Amino acid sequence: MRFILRKFAPIFIVAVLGAVIGGGLVLGYGPFFLGKSLPEAVSQLNKEVELPKTANAALSAARNTPIVRAAQIVGPSVVGITNKAYVSDMFNRRMLVERGSGSGVIFDASGHIITNYHVVAEAQEIVVSLADGRTVPGRVQGIDPATDLAVVKIEAGGIQPARFGDSDSLQVGEPAIAVGNPLGLELKGSVTAGVISALNRTLDIGERRFRLIQTDAAINPGNSGGALANADGEVVGINSIKIAVGGVEGIGFAIPWNTAKPIVQSLIEKGRVVRPYLGVVAFDKNTAQRYGYQLNIDKGLYVFRIVLNSPAARADIRVGDILLKLAGSETNSLAELRSLIEAQGVGATVPVLIGRNGEQFTVQVKLSEVPNE
């Protein structure tokens, strides 16, 4: 899955969905690994390489760093999630196969697990691998494709929920620890460390605008849905995407926990996220050109269609109007319009500045919940 960002074009943002790892991946160093797939190599390495006798000995103060302590706190709360689906073989027999794998974070003792939507998308069976070695079935409790978040539910005792921190208190330069399953469950529980590279990094993906945490802690396929923690062992972000292009390293992104928290709670309680909507189909100048329309506007959005019985229809917004501002902020792109609408609550009444026939005026629009259809 790739997203193309205008801001970073032609850089690709890769949603780090853990792909099924086949025999085509060959490690290129040492005779021990030559010709082996990653699962085979890791399995043989685990069998033949003996850990040092002092592995469980008390660490010195120099070795017992905040990263070590944070990994010990977060590690038991990070799980592996395998997405399985039925396919037909050449004889038209139905077979259950693994579509991919990712990571998740245990949210509470009831068995709710936070992950990315793309990790569980279209899954017909979910298998959750716990840090203590147990494997249990899971079911999708709720999904929110708009923010790439999902909640999976398991029935299991003896699980350890993560500790969650205040992502708004993060400082650029402080340690960042990513825990997940890069490249699949063979490397489960992997820890990478770096720093918080930037905050409130705004990325436009499709028609939506995302504010994400940027980090140089390595995030690889399979890390999706895993934890980004601070040095206190608190989860402050859900690992989601990375920039994948030759010559670019150390640019990964996580959904801030303060952004994810209300979404997760809504998914647990309702199975979906309740959002306000305006009820218009609108184009900015550049989008209109892609569809063959020429708009003679410098600012705002051209209203192409009005949804029947929507808030916009009730406020007498019409086809051909120009949306100039919503709640006092300019609306020059679809991403801006969506962000402004979603910042309001369902039932909120907001002023919308309209341009019509060379005149400008303001209408009051009462936003309602996005209809199921």
Q: What are the structure tokens assigned to 92, written together?
A: 């038209």
| pTM: predicted TM-score of the whole model, two decimal places | 0.71
The pLDDT of residue 343 is: 83
Distance CA 281, CA 307 (A): 8
Query: Which structural domain range is residue 137 located in?
Result: 1-48+64-273
- Same-domain status, 292 and 238: no
Q: Is 54 within a domain?
A: no
DSSP string for 244-274:
E-TT--S-EEEEEHHHHHHHHHHHHHHSS--
The pLDDT of residue 166 is: 94
3-class secondary structure, 68: helix
The last residue of a domain, from among 242, 273, 304: 273
Residue 148 among the catalytic residues: yes
240 DSSP assignment: E
The pLDDT of residue 182 is: 73
- Same-domain status, 189 and 265: yes
- Residues found in the chain: 373
- Same-domain status, 183 and 284: no
Q: Could you list the beta-strand ranges (E) of 284-369.
A: 301-306, 322-326, 329-330, 349-356, 359-366, 368-369
Cα torsion 210, 211, 216, 219 to 10°: value is: -40
- Same-domain status, 4 and 117: yes
Which residues are 323's β-sheet partners? 301, 354
The pLDDT of residue 249 is: 65
**Domains held by the chain: number:** 2
- Same-domain status, 310 and 363: yes
Q: Give the domain CATH number at 335.
A: 2.30.42.10
Q: Is 53 within a domain?
A: no
| Residue pair 237/254 in contact by the 8 Å Cβ criterion | yes
The pLDDT of residue 9 is: 38
Q: Is 129 within a domain?
A: yes
The pLDDT of residue 100 is: 76
pLDDT digit of tens for each residue in the chain (373 aa)? 333 333 433 333 444 333 333 323 233 333 333 444 555 544 554 444 444 444 445 788 888 888 899 999 999 999 998 887 767 767 777 766 667 788 999 999 999 999 999 888 888 888 898 988 898 999 999 998 888 899 999 998 899 999 999 999 999 999 999 998 876 666 777 889 999 999 988 776 655 667 899 998 888 777 888 899 999 999 999 998 765 555 566 788 899 999 899 999 999 998 888 888 899 888 887 777 777 777 777 788 989 889 999 999 999 999 989 999 999 999 888 878 888 888 888 889 999 999 998 899 999 999 998 876 5
Distance CA 293, CA 305 (A): 14
The last residue of a domain, from among 273, 293, 312: 273
Residue where the block lists tokens 């579509």? 99
- Same-domain status, 304 and 227: no
Candidates 112, 129, 144, 148; catalytic one:
148
Q: Is the peptide bond before 262 cis (omega within 30 degrees of 0)?
A: no
Residue 232 among the catalytic residues: no
The pLDDT of residue 97 is: 66
Comparing C-alpha atoms, which of 249, 191, 18, 212 is closest to residue 116? 18
The pLDDT of residue 242 is: 60
Q: Is 55 within a domain?
A: no
Candidates 224, 240, 266, 333; catalytic one:
224
Residue 224 among the catalytic residues: yes
Q: What are the structure tokens assigned to 84, written together?
A: 């399985």
Candidates 77, 101, 103, 118; catalytic one:
118
